[in-house]
Amino acid sequence: MKRQLSLLIFIVCGFLACKKDSPEVKAEFRVKKTSFYLLEQVEFMNVSAQGVYLWDFGDKQTSTDVSPVHTYTKPGTYNVSLTLNGQVTEVKTIVVYASISSYVVVNNTGFDGLEVTAYYSDINGRIADSVKLGTLAALAKSDTVFTAATLIKLGGVQMGKRTSTEYPLLRNTNNVLSMQ
C-alpha cells in the first residue's frame, strides 16, 4: 500500500510539473497610438497565439478578423477587447476626438526651454482658443493636439523674445509643425 501511495504521489507531482511548463495562452494586441480623430482608421495588430478571435471595439461593432482595421464615427472613449478562444481577453482604451485634424509641434530652434502655445483667432484676429503645449527641449515633440481649427498660430518665448508662426492644418492628418 505504501508503495502504491508513493507511485500515485509521483504521478500527480509529475503531472503538475508538466502543466506548469506548458506555455500560457494570452490574448494580446497593439495599436500605434491610443488617441484618434473622427473617421481616422484604427489599425489593430494581433500578436496573440493562433485561435478563434473576437474583437469588440466598444461601439457595438465586432470583428473576427485576425488584425482588423476599424473606423469610429462618434467621439468618445472606447474600451477595445480581444477575446482569444472564448475566454482569454485583453482590453485597451482608445480615445476618439471630435476634430478634423491633429498636430504635434517639434522644437527645431536648437534652444532648450522653448515655451509653446497654440492659439486660434476669430475673423477679427482675437484669440478664440489656446492650448499650452508646455516647455519643449531642443528637438523635442509636444503631445498630439486634436482640433477643429484649420489654421493655427504657434507662439512662444525664446531667449526673452516672443515668436509667432501661422500654420494651415491639413484635414485628417497628423501635421508635424516645426518651430524654427
What digits encode the pLDDT tens for the residues 60-82? 999 999 999 999 989 899 999 99
pLDDT at 156 (0 to 100)? 64
Instruction: Give pTM, 2 decimals.
Output: 0.54
Q: Are 84 and 27 in contact (CB under 8 A)?
A: yes
Q: Which three cell numbers stand for residue 179?
A: 518651430
Please enumerate in sequence order all residues whose Cβ is within 8 A of that of 114, keeping only pairs 6 or more positions apart, or say none: 107, 135, 136, 138, 156, 157, 158, 179
Q: Is 117 left (phi over 0), alpha (psi -120 to 50) or beta?
A: beta
CA 177 – CA 143 distance, rounded (Å): 12
pLDDT at 15 over 50: no
Bridge partner list, 89: 83
pLDDT at 92 (0 to 100)? 96
**Cα-Cα-Cα-Cα dihedral of 53, 28, 33, 73, to 10°?**
20
Q: Residue 97's closest CA among 143, 65, 30? A: 143
105: helix, strand or coil = strand
- Could you write out the DSSP letters of every residue in 20-35? HHSPPP---EE-S-SE
pLDDT at 115 (0 to 100)? 82
Q: Are 156 and 114 in contact (CB under 8 A)?
A: yes
Q: Which of 19-23, 80-84, 149-153 ranks highest by mean pLDDT?
A: 80-84
One-letter identity of residue 147: T
Q: What is the pLDDT of residues 82-101, one digit of tens each?
A: 999 998 899 999 998 887 77
Average pLDDT, the chain: 80
Name the one residue in this structure whose C-alpha cell is 506548469.
Answer: 20
